[in-house]
């Protein structure tokens, strides 16, 4: 089934587009969601560990690039660019990030003949644990390497204080992290949309950078990014303990990330362009389940 816009372009001899239409992006999400379910658990786990490691490198770069910058605008810009580097490595390497599958899987589930299966839930768990272990591994190596100086850790502590400021606000602070997590993965989800829309590497990287810079500048809570920041700081011996990090930040951020990416990006676009989705992406094999 040809899209009307494609037929219009063909009739008017427009040059080939350098991007995909929104319905084609959703089709890509459905196919990627299906492909992840066909991987072995070993492949899922390895790629999840890699994503956690790369997001930690992004957290590392955000601190390094923004060090000693006193002007807020430039500080936010360079910290955002640094974090986007990690996300670009994830997207282009095929690694599996929890906040990205929150965008892929809802579209796949919606158009599948099946509802949320045990296999899908297991994949979500494997991805989450793999991301955490990858982030922890990078934090462990960074501290063992002794490569980072005192100025870096002072800058990192500044990031941590912004991430943990909500803990002092009690129950309302917990919900603020959740709402911030919704905003974070709404933007990260749009980074996945823009990167998928682009048809060349340069376009994909630019598509990633735009929303990620906004996300990082706004101090929005991204569960896996926080795992990266926390892994470096906790192993260095800062005052925050794991129970505070997990229960007052990572858990509410994770819930918010699921809502932001799954509902505000994946499902909204899927419903909006439902009539334009090519039916071939809906084909499922019973033995896949």
Residue pLDDT, tens place only, 231-279? 888 766 667 777 888 899 999 999 999 999 999 999 999 999 988 887 5
Question: For residues 56 and 33, what is the distance between their CA atoms, to the nearest angstrom?
Answer: 24
**Terminal C-alpha separation, the chain:** 28
pLDDT band of residue 135 (cuts 50, 70, 90) is very high
- Predicted confidence at residue 50, as pLDDT, reads 97
CA separation for the pair 47, 130 (Å, rounded): 8
Q: How many residues does the chain have?
A: 289
- Look up the pTM and report it: 0.87
Render the burial of 78-103: b for 16+ CB within 10 Å, e for the rest.
Answer: bbbbbbbbbbbbbbeeebbbbbbbbb
Angle between helices 118-145 and 98-111 (to 10 degrees): 170
Average pLDDT over residues 205-219: 94
Sign of the torsion angle spanned by Cα atoms 132, 136, 137, 142? positive
Q: What is the distance between the alpha carbons of residues 26 and 38, in angstroms, rounded to a whole number?
A: 19
d(Cα 26, Cα 12) in Å, to the nearest integer? 26
The pLDDT score that the predictor gives to residue 288 is 45
Question: Of 42, 189, 192, nearest to 126 (Cα)?
Answer: 42
- Least confident range from 106-110, 189-193, 268-272: namely 106-110
- Cβ neighbours of residue 280 under 8 Å, at least 6 residues apart? none
Closest residue by Cα to residue 284 from 35, 105, 104: 35
Bridge partner list, 19: 198
* Sign, CA torsion 29/32/38/39: negative
């Amino acid at each position: 089934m040809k899209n009307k816009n494609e037929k219009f372009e063909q009739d008017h001899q427009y040059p080939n587009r350098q991007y995909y239409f929104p319905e084609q992006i959703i089709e890509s999400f459905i196919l990627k969601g299906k492909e992840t379910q066909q991987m072995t658990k070993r492949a899922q786990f390895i790629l999840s560990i890699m994503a956690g490691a790369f997001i930690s490198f992004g957290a590392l770069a955000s601190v390094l690039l923004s060090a000693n910058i006193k002007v807020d605008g430039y500080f936010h810009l360079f910290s955002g660019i640094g974090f986007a580097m990690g996300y670009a490595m994830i997207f282009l390497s095929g690694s599996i990030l929890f906040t990205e599958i929150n965008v892929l899987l809802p579209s796949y589930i919606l158009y599948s003949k099946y509802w949320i299966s045990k296999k899908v839930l297991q994949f979500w768990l494997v991805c989450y644990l793999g991301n955490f272990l990858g982030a922890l591994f990078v934090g462990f190596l960074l501290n063992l390497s002794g490569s980072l100086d005192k100025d870096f850790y002072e800058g990192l502590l500044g990031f941590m204080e912004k991430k943990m400021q909500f803990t002092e606000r009690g129950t309302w602070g917990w919900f603020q992290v959740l709402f911030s997590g919704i905003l974070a993965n709404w933007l990260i989800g749009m980074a996945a949309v823009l990167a998928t829309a682009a048809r060349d590497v340069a376009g994909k990287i630019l598509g990633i950078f735009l929303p990620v810079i906004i996300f990082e500048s706004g101090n929005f809570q991204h569960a896996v990014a926080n795992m990266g920041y926390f892994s470096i700081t906790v192993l260095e011996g800062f005052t925050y303990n794991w129970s505070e990090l997990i229960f007052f930040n990572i858990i509410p951020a994770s819930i918010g990330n699921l809502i932001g990416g799954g509902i505000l990006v994946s499902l909204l676009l899927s419903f909006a362009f439902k009539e334009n989705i090519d039916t071939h992406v809906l084909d499922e094999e019973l033995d896949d389940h």
